Amino acid sequence: MTMLASSPVTADLRGHRVPLDLYIDGAWRSGSMDFGVVNPATGAEIARVVDGGASDALDALDAADRAQAAWRDVAPRARARLFARAHALLLERGEAIAAIMTLESGKPLAEARAEFALSADFFLWYTEQIAHLHGTYASGSNGGYRIVTTHQPVGPSLLITPWNFPLLMIARKAGAALAAGCTVVVKSAKETPLTCALFVETLHDAGFPPGVVNLVHTTTSADVSSAVMADSRLRKVSFTGSTGVGTTLLGQAAPGIVNASMELGGDGPFVVLADADVELAAQQAVVCKFRNAGQACVAANRIIVHESIADEFTERFLALTRELTVGDGFTDGVDVGPLISERQRDTVARLVAEFTDAGAELLAGGGKVAGDGFFFEPTVFRVDTEIGDLCNRELFAPIATIYRVGSTAEALAFANDTTYGLAAYVFTRDLSRAIAVAERLEFGMVGINRGIMADPAAAFGGIKSSGLGREGGHDGISEFLEPRYLAITVD
Ligand code: NAD
């Protein structure tokens, strides 16, 4: 039976109260079905959350649709004040949110805190932009009238997030959508619903009106999202996840011409040229590869090193990899947490076998770590560029693959030989060469002498099979706005 309440059923986890219900039209909703959330560091169930179905999601869309007109008309300053209150509350709750993130995703607490800080920063950045969403005013080309361009919110939006960055993905999407004046239905990832719930509860406590933000957890994502996608009240879908699911959603968006933004998979080349600072490149490569146990869309998927420095780089990279401590994210000094699930760990083990069978040379790791959690050793392979399909696959795993090339041109050709186009990296001491290479890399983002790219003011996103549209920066807000042109006669 469905029950509505002004406060949610909660669980006490590590001393923090965490909502377990759905959140629809400003009220918490329980349900007769639920599912377990697992701590990947122990394999133990930590809580059971309400398992929403298509009818819950359609109720959420209904609420979002009813709230849309009023939310669009909230004055920018008033909307910004709500954002500012939510930002202040987020900061108060930072430690709780980071702890719950570590508990359900396994990432080390230091990484969870960094993700929290970046997410709060995104929210602050949107707060600052709300009163600055301008239009334009111009003369008609042949006189006699004026052209005024304003921006309207696209309308009720479905936001689907993955588990690998449980807070950043929702903060980045919901912040942009709400700043633009769209109402939202958030579908959390079933592995990490609790972080999403804490975020949505914060917006509720900040005073966002009923229906503006709605949250559905579910184990039946395909059913839930196809019901919402088929409803003509939905005007936008913003998805972060795999290219396969993104393709399905684009197909579902087509009949109703639903506006779509897609942040999909990556196959990031990490190019180290002959004149690179080898120590810097090795340090950044280790972070770029093993952050979040390799489960990042922007991870270094192929490390491509000029042959003149390949041995020196590999030795340093291996030394730094061996210094990484694998363990429970709550333990001090842990660098690499578990994988998200046993299934993901099996996938990683299969990948190791595939590389080995294809003749790649195993330099470090390669195995599961014994114990209850889903831990896997940081693994390093030396791989030949001729290995075939394996080198064009998103690994999404703590497996580093080092390729050796003979020239910058060869590095570029190999880097671009992929259907993906999210993030790439280039390391060189020569600024002109860095720019020349960055301009030729067919990717939406290029890190020059740095292995981490994340900033609220920057347009994050990819091309080719890595997606459509951008998140962050003014481009990110524009994803939730439609230009409207007014022609005004002037005598
Ligand atoms: P996934 O595509 O399996 O799931 C992502 C989300 O989609 C989850 O909420 C899931 O429940 C939901 N989902 C699954 N099937 C669905 C369906 N048929 N209809 C609607 N929703 C559905 O991806 P994942 O395994 O959770 O995440 C890993 C992938 O996400 C990787 O490919 C990674 O590169 C990508 N990713 C991309 C970015 C980016 O910004 N480009 C960021 C993080 C992750």
- The 10s digit of each residue's pLDDT in 100-132 is 999 999 999 999 999 999 999 999 999 999 999
For residues 441-454, one letter each, b for 16 or more C-beta atoms within 10 angstroms of the residue's C-beta and e for the rest, the string is bebbbbbebebeeb
Set 297, 377, 391, 479: catalytic member: 297
Check which CATH number belongs to the domain holding 277 and give it: 3.40.309.10
- CA proximity to 155, closest of 53, 43, 238: 238
Task: Find the 219 Cα to ligand 1 centroid distance in Å.
Answer: 13
For ligand 1, atom 36, the nearest C-alpha belongs to 241
Do residues 407 and 311 share a domain? yes
153 within ligand 1 shell (Cβ under 6 A): no
Do residues 429 and 397 share a domain? yes
234 within ligand 1 shell (Cβ under 6 A): no
Q: What's the pLDDT at 389?
A: 81
Q: Specify whether the CB–CB gap between 273 and 408 falls below 8 A.
A: yes
Q: Given the CA of residue 225, which atom of ligand 1 is nearest to it?
A: 20
Would you call 196 a catalytic residue per the annotation?
A: no
Do residues 276 and 235 share a domain? no
Q: What's the pLDDT at 2?
A: 66
DSSP 332-389: TT--B---S-HHHHHHHHHHHHHHHHTTPEEEE--SBPSSSS--B--EEEE--GGG-G
Q: Which domain, by its residues, includes 273?
A: 268-448
Rounded CA-CA distance 361/382 in Å is 5
Asked whether residue 5 is assigned to any structural domain, the reply reads no
Do residues 44 and 70 share a domain? yes
Rounded CA-CA distance 37/43 in Å is 10
Rounded CA-CA distance 444/456 in Å is 16
* Each residue's pLDDT tens digit, 307-327: 999 999 999 999 999 999 999
Do residues 239 and 317 share a domain? no
Rounded CA-CA distance 286/423 in Å is 16
Do residues 191 and 237 share a domain? yes
266 within ligand 1 shell (Cβ under 6 A): yes
Do residues 172 and 52 share a domain? yes
245 within ligand 1 shell (Cβ under 6 A): yes
Asked whether residue 176 is assigned to any structural domain, the reply reads yes
472 within ligand 1 shell (Cβ under 6 A): no
Do residues 284 and 182 share a domain? no
* Axis-axis angle for helices 431-440, 408-416 (nearest 10): 30
Do residues 211 and 287 share a domain? no
Check which CATH number belongs to the domain holding 60 and give it: 3.40.605.10
Q: What is the ipTM of this complex?
A: 0.95
For ligand 1, atom 26, the nearest C-alpha belongs to 162
Low-confidence ranges of the chain (pLDDT < 50): none
